[in-house]
Structure 1
Amino acid sequence: MLQNGRKLSARGPFWRFPIVWMLVGAIGIVLIDTLFRQLTERVDGLISLALTLVMGLLAIMVYKFTLTYLARRSTPEIARQRAGIEAVLGMLTGTIFIAGSVLIIMALGGYSFQWASSANAGSVLILSIEAALGAAIVEELIFRGLMFQAIDRLGGKPLALAVTSLFFGVAHLGNTGATLWSAFAIALEAGVLLGAAFLWRRNLWFAMGLHFAWNAIEGLLGFPVSGHSAAGLFTVELNGAALLTGGDFGLEGSIVPVVASLLISIPMLIGAARYRRVEARNLPVSK
């Protein structure tokens, strides 16, 4: 009994090592996402959306289990308190960001829209919400939840922001129409912005809401979402250079949202740094 107890005790530090629990949690979330993707492909409409919601709940449970029992730490970033308002604030931020970027490109002559008369508005709405919701939950749990916090433990927040942003861009290199530029753009406009949002609000709900609104609005407008084609409510005509319009990759390949995201990210990062300084000053001094 004593020998077995020592073996179990020796395994503790292994599971608590940041890269270990990051990988275990990410694999668990990816497996759940993969399983439910296969299920949702066999149904449609509200049933498919309901399955996506179940997938999201299970992914959050895997995340909490991983951090609680392997990393041995609390999970205030997914606390239910203020979850709703933080998600809504994130969705509002994402809506302003995407709508503002589209309007700027339209004013520069890059986009023109026509109503897609053949589109079923109800189906398009459900599909856009379903795809955006699944991506927002899974990607934020893995990148801002697991990876960011694991690297933060090893090298601090600046390194965590840089590494997660880089990996987020690289993860989109295999998408349709992707180029080195589009990967770099994703790293800046999505990786940095979502990382800054997480640091600023200190929870995942805000980042998930921002990510959800971003993808959902792109899909509804008829843009490819990170290169993935979307049956939107409109057909989009591109006019001008791909650097302005994003080309085949979609809005995210445009220079406009890259600049806009940095203008939003910088105040968020400044706010997060100020909060950390105040928090550090208020820490009790050990004697």
Structure 2
Amino acid sequence: MQHFPAKPQQSGVWKIRGSALLSALLALPVGGAWIIASGAYVEFPIVWSIAYGIGLVALFLLVHGLYAYRRGARTARYMQVPSGRAFVYATIATALLLGCAVLSLLASGPSDATDAPTDHDRYALPVLAILLFPVVEEFAFRGWFQGNMERVVGPEIALLLAAIAFAAVHASGNPTQHFISGLVYGAAFLLSRNIWLPIFMHALYNFGVVLLDTSSAAIEWAETIRNAPPAWIEPVSGTAQAAIALVIVGLLVQLRRTQSGQTAD
């Protein structure tokens, strides 16, 4: 009787990596679809716009809950409330990030926007941008995409890829600034292993942007500088962005050393 060799089974590591890669790639169209769908809020009355946004977030969180349940994800630390010290550090980092964004805006030259703000811009968009958008975007780009890509390419490359993806879906705005923001939110997620910290930072950042966008004095001041930007503002803006990126690299190097030391012990 002839015996055939058994078919080699796929390595458990490759199964994990394949599943993680598939989950990460699925996060990109979900995040992109969210950006597109969320833009439809301008088609509804203001109250319905806010309700529409809440419905989208509820649907997304339901999908996330089912996804985590099916995978048997352990979400104890991932979902627990961060410490007060973590919130303080996150607030400082967000303030620096917002300052960097203001410098980038001032260095961009005269604005070509001619449309006056609508009621949706004044009332519906701030609610959605502060309370709702950060939840979905951080779950999608940090929780799903970056978290799964870590198991495939490692934490540093996963952080970089998530920041690139985050900038890509915000390409209509300032992709460079969104890339830096993605690095900051991703680093917060990587260092804390908690999804609520980048959500808090994202919401706080959007809150600062909304305040600046709705302040007539701030708008007038910004337009005055943008129409005739000083020679120093562009290099300072670039230096600030590079400094944030270097700080993140330093934190990741220190994290890697700490993990290597714990492994050696």
TM-score using structure 2 length = 0.65
For the structure 1 residues 103 and 162, does the alpha-carbon distance in structure 2 shift closer, same or farther, using more than 3 Å as the test? closer
2:164 equivalent in structure 1: 166
Q: Matches of residues 60-71 of structure 1 in structure 2 within 5 Å? A: 60-70=61-71
Residue number in structure 2 paired with 1:6: none
Partner residue, 1:183: 175
Deviation, 1:156, is 0.8
1:68 CA displacement: 4.0
Q: Give the letter for the 1:218 counterpart.
A: V
Partner of 2:20: 18
Where does the alignment leave 5 or more consecutive residues of structure 2 unmatched? 1-14, 111-115
| Larger Cα-atom Rg | 2
- CA spacing shift, 1:43–1:184, aligned 2, 3 Å: same
More helix by share: 2
RMSD: 4.4
Q: 1:130 to 1:105 in 2, by over 3 A?
A: closer
Q: Is residue 76–residue 203 contact of structure 1 (8 Å, CA) maintained in 2?
A: no
Q: 1:258 to 1:31 in 2, by over 3 A?
A: same
Corresponding residue of 1:203: 194
> How many residues are aligned here?
239
Contact 1:121–1:233 under 8 Å retained in 2: no
Please state if 1:221 is matched with 2:203: no
Q: Report what 2:60 is aligned to.
A: 59
Deviations, residues 185-220 of structure 1 (Å, cap 9, x unaligned): 532x22322222222222222212222222332233
Q: Which residue of 2 aligns with 1:250?
A: none
Q: Could you tell me whether the CA contact under 8 Å between 1:221 and 1:233 is conserved in 2? A: yes
Q: Determine if the alignment matches structure 1 residue 193 to structure 2 residue 184.
A: yes
Matches of 1:157 and 1:141, distance apart in 2 = 17
For 1:71-82, what aligned pairs fall within 5 Å after superposition?
A: 72-76=72-76, 78-82=78-82
Distance between the aligned counterparts of 1:104 and 1:39, measured in 2? 28
> Is the counterpart of residue 93 in structure 1 residue 93 in structure 2?
yes
Percentage identity across paired residues of the two chains: 20
User: Structure 1 CA distance, aligned partners of 2:104 and 2:34?
Assistant: 39
Counterpart amino acid of 1:210? M
Query: How far, CA to CA, are the matches of 1:91 and 1:150 in structure 2?
Result: 26
CA distance in 2, matches of 1:84, 1:136: 20
Any conservation in 2 of the 1:198–1:206 contact (CA below 8 Å)? Answer: yes
User: Aligned AA for 1:161?
Assistant: L
SS at match of 1:193: helix
Amino acid at match of 2:211: L
1:152–1:160: 8 Å Cα contact kept in structure 2? yes
Secondary structure of 1:17 counterpart:
helix
1:128 aligns to what?
A: 126
Given residue 19 of structure 1, which amino acid in structure 2 is its aligned partner?
L
Tell me the amino acid that sits aligned with residue 166 of structure 2: F
Q: What letter is aligned with 1:220? A: L
SS state of the match for residue 189, structure 2? Answer: helix
